[in-house]
């Protein structure tokens, strides 16, 4: 018996985001979950501080990225604790993400260095059950699963004649 509220055994999960540049470096974002059902829109924004010429009116994109990773694992731990019948009295998570940054002329290049997630569970259950919960949550966290493998990201640029690869 499935504890997935009537969802099919397999499904695609799709989010779409439409962004519009506003202000000096601000981006207004409209995010919608499209599959397996529609949720949203979720209205968000990013901005940069003075380093990039922004006004810091919203979090920078990297802050949203780290928040998304942290929130994803926390959500899965909380959801799966109910399904696995693991007592969860309290939960705290501390995430550290480090990137390499290197100047390249007038621009710079980056690369991921480390992703570290410290989980603090207050539970009456044995540590083995807590570990089982965290392992299940890792497998269920979309962002962590995305980071754990090589990915292909494609870019297209709109031209007067249609789309070209960028």
Q: For the chain, list the domains and their CATH numbers.
A: 1-59 (no CATH), 60-166 (3.30.300.20)
In whole numbers, what is the pLDDT of the chain averaged over residues?
Answer: 94
Other CB atoms within 10 A of residue 1 CB: 3
Question: Using one digit for the tens of pLDDT, what is the confidence trace for 37-84?
Answer: 999 999 999 999 998 989 999 999 999 999 999 999 999 999 999 999
**Residue 8 confidence (pLDDT):** 81
What share of the chain in percent tops pLDDT 90?
92
Handedness of CA 72, 78, 84, 88 (dihedral sign): positive
pLDDT > 90? residue 114:
yes
DSSP for 124-141 reads: SS-HHHHHHHHHHHHHH-
- Worst-scoring range by mean pLDDT, 3-17, 100-114, 142-156? 3-17
Are 27 and 21 contacting, i.e. CB atoms less than 8 angstroms apart? yes
- What distance in Å separates the CA atoms of residue 128 and residue 148, rounded to the nearest whole number? 23
The C-alpha atoms of residue 143 and residue 97 are separated, in whole angstroms, by: 13
Confidence of residue 3 (pLDDT cuts 50, 70, 90): low
The residue with tokens 């962004």 is 19
Beta bridge partners of 100: 111
Question: Per-residue confidence at 4, pLDDT binned at 50, 70, 90?
Answer: low
Residues ≥6 apart with Cβ < 8 Å to 45: 26, 27, 28, 29, 57, 58
**Bridge-based pairing state of the strands 39-46 and 26-35:** antiparallel
């Amino acid at each position: 018996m499935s504890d997935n509220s009537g969802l099919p055994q397999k499904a695609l999960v799709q989010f779409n985001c439409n962004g519009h540049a506003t202000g000096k470096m601000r981006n207004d974002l409209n995010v919608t979950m499209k599959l397996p059902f529609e949720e949203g829109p979720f209205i968000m924004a990013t901005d940069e501080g003075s380093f990039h010429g922004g006004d810091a009116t919203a979090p920078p994109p990297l802050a949203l990225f780290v928040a998304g990773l942290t929130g994803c694992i926390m959500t899965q731990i909380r959801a799966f604790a109910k399904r696995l019948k693991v007592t969860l009295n309290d939960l705290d998570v501390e995430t550290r993400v480090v990137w390499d940054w290197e100047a390249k002329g007038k621009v710079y290049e980056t690369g991921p260095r480390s992703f570290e997630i410290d989980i603090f569970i207050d539970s009456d259950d044995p540590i083995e059950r807590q570990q089982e919960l965290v392992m299940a949550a890792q497998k269920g966290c979309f962002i962590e699963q995305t980071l754990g493998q090589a990915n292909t990201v494609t870019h297209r640029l709109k031209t007067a004649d249609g789309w070209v690869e960028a």
